[in-house]
Amino acid sequence: MAEDLNTLSNDAFRLRWREWLHANFPAEWRIPIVHRLSGENERRWHRMTFAAGWRAPGWPKEFGGLGLDLEKQLIINQEMEAHCCARVLDSGAVLLAPVLMKYGTDEQKARYLSAILRGEDLWCQGYSEPNSGSDLASLRTSAVLEGEHFVINGQKIWTTLAAYADRIFVLVRTNKDVKKQAGISFILADMDTPGLTVRPIMNLAGEDELCEIFFDNVRVPAENLVGEIDQGWTVAKALLGDERIANGAPTLPRQSFEMLEQLVEGLGQIEDLGVADRAAVLLCDLHDLAALHSQVADAAIRGEIDNAVLGLMKVLATDLFQRVTDELLRVAGESAGLVEPVGVGGLDMDLRKLFMVARPSTIYAGANEVQRNIVSNMLMGPAAR
Amino acid sequence: MGWRVDNDLQQMLRDSARGYLGDVGGPSHARKVRAQPDGFDAAAWAQMGEQGWTGVLLPERLGGSDLGLEPALTLAEELGRSIAPEPFVSAAVIGASLLGAAHGDRAEALAGELAQGGRSVTLAWQEARGTLGFGNFATRLTNGRLTGTKLHVPAWHSGTGLLVAAASADGPVIAVVNPGTHGVMATAQRLTDGTFCADIVFEQVAVADDAIILSGDAARGALALAIARGTVVLSAQLEGLAGALWHMTSDYMKQRSQFGSRLSDFQALRHRMVDLYAEIELAAASWRAAATAVEAGDLSGVAVHAAKARCSQIAQDMGRWAIQYHGAFGYTDEADVGLFVHAALSWSSWLGNPAAHRRAAVVAHRNGKAGHG
């Protein structure tokens, strides 16, 4: 089946994927925005898509992916959005695999890529530390080479879904005597290695997806190094440019705007001019963001990527997501103060969770303030210190 | 219509526009026009005619180049960057769209003059200020006599050609009216971009049969297309203006120092500039989407309204922050910033301001959902 997908027209491809998705996506997972597949559910999804020939749309065929062009990859996302699918993180396929394909040894590729495809291995990304968030390059978790092993000591934090992961890819300091970016290495570790402990952190949305990870003399085979020693910063940046387009996608603001419209209708506020005026601002923001996103995606398909506009879109999309969820609470009146979901127009709407899920979007993947710093450097030149 | 990508024709037009406007356009030209008694530089208009800009939307049979909407938008962006007070939108887009759809000697003669840059053309259609689109006109043409009042007729000057939209027994009509005809009483008012608009009273003005260049459904359709095109092209002009003002402000911030630092080194100011730049990117994306919609026949959907709302808003916002970041100097008439801010005031309020277009967008969105639901 993987053979013919690329030869299909985009419309035919869209229909093929939609048909399969609607027939196979479990109804209990059709919870947009607030729900994310994890653990056994995530494994099940990967196995389902693998068995049906839909796994790893962006991977080259030589590694077992579908080798789809960016347009068809975006179609897959669009259809999942339209079908109100729960989010899937898929750190192994999305975040790690591009790095392994570019810098991994043949042994690493053989050992890890196939297990990701089959849903056997779930991965987590060990980047942030308690004192290294937006300023990631200042990280201090250390790895010291002793014979055939790296010995890792330190702490990672905000590691998404670490409690369900089988393995972790982690950025560690292997050299303290050079510029901070130059002394970092990219290392793979099994989560059941002695000395490695995970502590989930309860967040404001009531989820324990984010975790702390403690490394206490964790011994990892030296062959788990990806790329050269001290070159981890460069290795980590091998993440496909295409993926960054997803950070600026209007998916979450659009889905929450649709909920806002249902809520406005359900509460009989459709004639309210204030509500309409505020909805008008959000509608135009959403329309224009979608226009920008699709035009930039088209440019990316032609091979023209502009880093400044990608950073801007992340800021715009996450800011809009928050403003829409703010408006949901405003329209909801006293219902905004309820812990349990609100029944509106036959819809159970978890307003509190929607509001809370929107909070970290302006913090993760480069806090919006950091994005503004980066973009301002591109637009106005670096600021003097 | 792609993100910041010109085809060969657009690139050629953009280069020649930058060359020409860089030499004779821009702030000094805007100052000159605002000092002229009728706010119109016939020589500049003629030069734009020579370069084919005034006939960009006119069919070849009328002396135009029939290049279509995309090249017109490219020109508009550049005209906006140089705050050109020439009546590109009112004449070369709205006027030309009507003349291009019309037939007969009168339309052909006027179109020919427009294509050469020998004359500009304006359309009198509004009967209230701040209207979007049109319904039934109160101005009527009955038995060869035109009676009624039109407001805010743009690009008004002594030599302009005048088209008037009116109701008649045959439905809406577009008529060519000589402004010097007995019974035409125009009151001109200076606009902030240096040009004039006029409120015009028509009292039993004689209109010959051959002066009616469009009527009935043809008039209605041409009028809707002309106004939609004008709205999108004006949006591109506003986005061009905002972009130029952003760069002008950024350049100033790099050379102005206070407290021992360049203004461009202060993080709070840099972040504001990034946000303004993001709005300009949204504005450009929005008018591109609107142009695509208009080309596909969607003249009154969300896209056109969103575009005019966004482009008008960012032109105003960029103006406010440009003054702020130029400091007290930005508040002087000597600084060019004020010329851009003034042009933005009239361009952003003409053909619907941001609030009006946002409201229209949400109505169009709800109607669209009802239609498809």
Q: What ipTM score was computed for the predicted complex, to two decimals?
A: 0.95
A274 touches chain B (CB under 8 A): no
Domain boundary among B60, B86, B120: B120
Percent of chain A with pLDDT over 90: 79
Euclidean distance between CA atoms A19 and A54, whole angstroms = 12
Domain boundary among A236, A253, A278: A236
Percent of chain A with pLDDT over 70: 97
CB–CB contact A376 B270 (8 Å): yes
Please enumerate, as own/partner, the contacts of B41-50 that have beta carbons within 8 Å and a separation of 24 or more.
Answer: B41/B85, B41/B86, B42/B159, B44/B86, B45/B86, B45/B87, B45/B117, B45/B120, B46/B116, B46/B117, B46/B118, B47/B20, B47/B117, B48/B86, B48/B88, B48/B117, B49/B114, B49/B115, B49/B116, B49/B117, B49/B118, B50/B116, B50/B117
Q: How does residue A365 score in pLDDT terms, banded at 50, 70 and 90?
A: confident
- Whether B212 and B245 map to the same domain: the answer is no
Question: Does B252 fall in a domain?
Answer: yes
Tell me how many residue pairs between chain A and chain B have CB atoms under 8 A apart. Answer: 114
CB–CB contact A276 B5 (8 Å): no
Q: Domain range holding A146?
A: 123-236
In our burial notation (b when 16+ CB lie closer than 10 A, e otherwise), range B239-261 reads bbbbbbbbebbbebbeeeeeeee
- Whether B192 and B268 map to the same domain: the answer is no
CB–CB contact A284 B358 (8 Å): yes
Domain boundary among A27, A61, A88: A88
- Whether B87 and B130 map to the same domain: the answer is no
A284 touches chain B (CB under 8 A): yes
Residue A209 near residue A161, CB atoms below 8 Å: yes
Interface test with B, best of A278, A295, A306, A316 (most B CBs within 10 A): A295
- Whether A169 and A127 map to the same domain: the answer is yes
- Whether B208 and B270 map to the same domain: the answer is no
- Residue in B closest to A293 by C-alpha: B285
Residue A174's pLDDT is 98
- Whether B278 and B333 map to the same domain: the answer is yes
Nearest Cα of chain A lies from the Cα of B199 at a distance, in angstroms, of: 31
- Whether A253 and A220 map to the same domain: the answer is no
pLDDT tens-digit series, residues A89-128: 999 999 999 999 999 999 999 999 999 999 999 999 999 9
- Whether B65 and B156 map to the same domain: the answer is no
CB–CB contact B3 A312 (8 Å): no
Nearest Cα of chain B lies from the Cα of A56 at a distance, in angstroms, of: 28
Domain boundary among B105, B120, B135: B120
Residue A242's pLDDT is 55
- Whether B100 and B233 map to the same domain: the answer is no
CB–CB contact A379 B274 (8 Å): yes
CB–CB contact B267 A299 (8 Å): no
Question: Does B3 fall in a domain?
Answer: no
**Which residue in the set A276, A281, A376 is minimally distant from B274, CB to CB?**
A376
Range with lowest mean pLDDT among A8-17, A130-139, B83-92, B149-158? A130-139
Domain boundary among B216, B248, B273: B216
- Whether B131 and B114 map to the same domain: the answer is no
Nearest Cα of chain A lies from the Cα of B160 at a distance, in angstroms, of: 36
Residue A225's pLDDT is 98
Chain A positions in Cβ-Cβ contact with residue B265 (cut-off 8 Å) = 383-384
Residue A300's pLDDT is 82
At A297, which CATH number? 1.20.140.10
pLDDT tens-digit series, residues A31-70: 888 899 999 999 999 999 999 999 999 899 999 999 998 8
Query: In chain A, what is the greatest distance between 2 CA atoms, to the nearest angstrom?
Result: 73
At A59, which CATH number? 1.10.540
- Residue in A closest to B260 by C-alpha: A384
Residue A2's pLDDT is 46
- Whether A296 and A374 map to the same domain: the answer is yes
- Residue in A closest to B285 by C-alpha: A292
- Whether A221 and A274 map to the same domain: the answer is no
- Residue in A closest to B265 by C-alpha: A383
- Whether A136 and A230 map to the same domain: the answer is yes
Interface test with A, best of B239, B281, B287, B292 (most A CBs within 10 A): B281
CB–CB contact A287 B282 (8 Å): no
Q: Domain range holding B126?
A: 122-216
Nearest Cα of chain A lies from the Cα of B346 at a distance, in angstroms, of: 22
- Residue in A closest to B270 by C-alpha: A376
Q: Is A120 exposed, middle or buried (0-12, 13-18, 19+ CB in 10 A)?
A: middle
A383 touches chain B (CB under 8 A): yes
At A131, which CATH number? 2.40.110.10
Q: 3-state DSSP call for residue A214?
A: strand
Question: Does A296 fall in a domain?
Answer: yes
pLDDT < 70: residue spans in chain B:
1, 371-373
pTM: 0.93
At B85, which CATH number? 1.10.540.10
Scanning A351-380 for CB atoms below 8 A from B yields 369, 372-373, 375-376, 379-380
- Whether B113 and B137 map to the same domain: the answer is no
**Which residue in the set A295, A302, A376 is minimally distant from B288, CB to CB?**
A295
CA A292 to chain centre: 20
- Whether B368 and B327 map to the same domain: the answer is yes
Residue A336's pLDDT is 87
In our burial notation (b when 16+ CB lie closer than 10 A, e otherwise), range A231-266 reads bbbebbebbbebebbbbbbbbbbbbbbebbbbbbeb
Domain count, chain A: 3
Domain count, chain B: 3
Strand pairing report for A342-344 and A196-200:
unpaired
- Whether A129 and A84 map to the same domain: the answer is no
What is A54-88 written as a DSSP string?
A: -S-TTS-GGGTS----HHHHHHHHHHHHHTTPPEE
CB–CB contact A287 B267 (8 Å): no
Nearest Cα of chain B lies from the Cα of A363 at a distance, in angstroms, of: 16
Q: Report, as an integer, the average pLDDT of A273-302.
A: 94
- Whether B239 and B178 map to the same domain: the answer is no
**Which residue in the set B2, B302, B362 is minimally distant from A299, CB to CB?**
B2
Range with lowest mean pLDDT among A11-25, A355-369, B242-256, B276-290? A355-369
Residue B133's pLDDT is 85
Question: Does B26 fall in a domain?
Answer: yes
Residue B373's pLDDT is 42
Residue A339's pLDDT is 86
Range with lowest mean pLDDT among A177-186, A194-203, A240-249, B192-201? A240-249
Q: Report, as an integer, the average pLDDT of A169-186.
A: 96
Residue A6 neighbours by CB distance under 10 Å: 13
pLDDT at A291 over 80: yes
Question: Does A97 fall in a domain?
Answer: no
Supply A380's token pair: 């106005």
Domain boundary among A181, A205, A236: A236
Chain A positions in Cβ-Cβ contact with residue B270 (cut-off 8 Å) = 372-373, 376, 380, 383
Question: Does A160 fall in a domain?
Answer: yes
- Whether A228 and A290 map to the same domain: the answer is no
At B156, which CATH number? 2.40.110.10
Q: For A83, phi and psi rounded to 5 degrees?
A: -90, 5
Q: Report, as an integer, the average pLDDT of A357-384.
A: 93
Residue A3's pLDDT is 56
CB–CB contact B262 A309 (8 Å): no
**Which residue in the set B250, B271, B362 is minimally distant from A372, CB to CB?**
B271
Q: How does residue A375 score in pLDDT terms, banded at 50, 70 and 90?
A: very high
**Which residue in the set B3, B265, B303 is minimally distant from A296, CB to CB?**
B3
